[in-house]
Homo-oligomer: A and B are copies of this chain.
């Protein structure tokens, strides 16, 4: 339930009053509150409309509240002169794993030259097997930070545990929550207390509602800058690594005001499919992409099969821009 307050109402006094009534409310705008706990079938809208401070009451049926479209039209995130969620595309490019300074400098230069605003690279890798390459760690983050700084790119890297947050945040702009951690509620809550935008990847068996409730954990803990990312779900089809679910784009656009990116690299697991699925993502209405790019994809330490090289990346950037301009016309 969302409450529109009359002008000049003291919001915080009103929130106290609600608390006294057994309800918990969060501020969602200068004159708006949303009640997130305590509303059940015994609570009637009419009782609230009768209160002198209340201008209007709107039901919010979804279990997610702050992430709901009912609350806001569109979240637009401004960072380093780039815009995420607005009329421009935001493309994040870079390797699965940070491997060396040369590799990251190459990717940063390429991203910059092709007009991508974000640079990604994994320093802590959530590997299915404990015996696989686990990433360069903090050393890698320094390389990422420096490569990004050279070309004024927004840097993105994954944080795997609440204890890493401050350290990773000291190097990178956007903190990524991987698909395998989308239900790690301890991590989500702790990400609510940082200022960095969060790139929240959909778990591979998470429904749209699960994804939005994961975002709700972060927002309700204090950080409104959540960027959603579709990256494929598990289905019976084994030809592709995952089944990239582009329905998520228009479905989420109806449900939430948060920006939505698509990762066609993990979503397909196949290099040759990245280009057509990148185009399709933008045509479906995505706000941008996260793509795995490597100077020499065949030598990538991780995710080689789905990583594209510099030429393919240049073609992709040109084609998605063309699609995007169609949509705006």
The segment out of A84-92, A146-154, A270-278, A292-300 that lies at the interface is A270-278
In the assembled complex, A239 has its CB within 8 A of some CB on chain B: yes
Contact A283 B276 (CB under 8 A): yes
In the assembled complex, A204 has its CB within 8 A of some CB on chain B: yes
The segment out of A124-132, A166-174, A305-313 that lies at the interface is A124-132
> Number of contacting residues on A, CB 8 A?
75
Residues of A that sit less than 8 Å from B by CB: 24, 36-37, 63-65, 126-131, 160-164, 180-181, 183-187, 189, 203-205, 207-210, 213, 216-217, 220-221, 233-240, 243-247, 249-251, 253-254, 267-268, 270, 272-273, 276-277, 279-285, 319, 322-323, 326-327, 329
Contact A207 B238 (CB under 8 A): yes
Closest to A179 in B: B183
Contact B185 A160 (CB under 8 A): yes
Residues of B near A129 (CB, < 8 A) are 63-64, 213, 216
Contact A273 B251 (CB under 8 A): yes
Copies per complex of this chain: 4
Residues of B near A36 (CB, < 8 A) are 130-131
Given A36-B130, A233-B235, A233-B243, 5 new contacts (CB under 8 A): A184-B184, A205-B236, A235-B245, A243-B243, A254-B272
Mind listing 11 A-B residue pairs with CB under 8 Å? A37-B131, A65-B131, A128-B210, A130-B221, A160-B186, A162-B162, A207-B239, A244-B247, A283-B283, A323-B323, A326-B326
Bound complex: CA of A64 vs CA of B239, how far in Å?
A: 15
Bound complex: CA of A51 vs CA of B319, how far in Å?
A: 48
Write the nearest CB–CB distance from A132 to chain B, whole angstroms: 9
Given contacts A37-B131, A130-B217, contact A238 B238 (CB under 8 A): yes
